[in-house]
Each structure stands twice: as structure tokens, then as C-alpha cells.
């Protein structure tokens, strides 16, 4: 397993992966970490994430290899279908997966997403539009949603 660190506007991101694909991206609080040289298997992921944060990329084209249960993987696949700049409620996601009663299990799988940003769990919100739960912190969820918002509010002053 190879590891790389990249700087993002929301903190240092730790990327983990190998020839099988990208298995984890986590955002770290605290001290800045960096690599002198990026492992070759993580170069494309680092490049695409940098483009995303620069506003130059809306979708990712990476080989993914997240580890989880079959149910979690099903939820993570559904998350990848939420378009850039759009949101979906936990209830809508549960309906999309075919079981409204599974809303808590869907929310739990969403919270265990190992691929920060690339699998866009930040695009899932409460039914009332609230920014409910986010493993990376609600301030990061708000930042990501604002970053992806196609309509930027202009200041009048």
C-alpha cells in the first residue's frame, strides 16, 4: 500500500492505494504533511484532486478500490451518481437504493465512505436541506457544497 499527502484548502489529504486502485482518502486535522516524491500509483489521484480543488474538475476518472461490505459498496456507488453541484437527501438516496426503511443503514454507510471527495458523500443532506453529519466536519461539508455550487452569490457592495 502506497501513501501520499497533498495540500488542499481544507487541510492535508492522505491518499492510500496500490495497483488495484485508490482505497482511501482522508483529510487530516493538524500539522501539514507532504511527500518529497509522489508514489506513481497515486500521481493521477493527486493530480485530479488538485484540479477539483482548483475548480477545473467536476468528475473523477480513477480506479477505485474501497474496502467495505457489499451494502456499503452499493451505497458508495449510488453516491457517485449524484452530479457535481447537486445534492440528495438521505431519504432520496434510500429510495434510490430501493428501501426507504434502510435510511439509517444508508446514512451509516455514507459516514463510512473511505474516499473523501471522490465518492461525494458531502452531497447528501437532510430532508429539510440541513447539513447533517459529516465525518470531515460540517465546516468542510459546507465548503465543498459552496465550491460545487454553480451559482455564486455576488456581493452588492
Residues taking part in catalysis:
121
Report residue 82 CA to chain centroid gap.
11
Torsion angle (degrees, nearest 10) of CA 136, 103, 83, 115 = 40
Torsion angle (degrees, nearest 10) of CA 101, 102, 103, 107 = 170
Three-state DSSP state, 124 = strand
Amino acid at each position: 500500500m502506497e501513501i501520499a499527502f497533498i495540500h488542499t484548502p481544507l487541510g492535508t489529504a492522505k491518499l492510500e492505494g496500490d495497483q488495484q486502485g485508490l482505497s482511501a482518502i482522508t483529510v487530516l486535522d493538524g500539522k501539514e504533511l507532504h511527500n518529497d516524491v509522489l508514489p506513481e500509483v497515486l500521481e493521477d489521484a493527486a493530480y485530479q484532486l488538485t484540479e477539483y480543488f482548483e475548480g477545473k474538475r467536476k468528475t473523477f476518472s480513477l480506479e477505485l478500490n474501497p474496502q467495505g461490505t457489499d451494502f456499503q459498496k452499493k451505497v458508495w456507488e449510488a453516491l457517485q451518481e449524484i452530479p457535481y453541484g447537486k445534492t440528495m437527501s438521505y431519504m432520496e438516496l434510500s429510495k434510490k437504493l430501493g428501501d426507504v426503511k434502510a435510511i439509517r443503514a444508508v446514512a451509516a454507510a455514507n459516514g463510512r465512505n473511505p474516499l473523501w471527495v471522490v465518492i461525494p458523500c458531502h452531497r447528501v443532506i437532510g430532508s429539510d436541506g440541513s447539513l447533517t453529519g459529516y465525518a470531515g466536519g460540517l465546516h468542510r461539508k459546507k465548503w465543498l457544497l459552496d465550491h460545487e455550487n454553480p451559482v455564486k452569490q455576488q456581493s452588492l457592495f
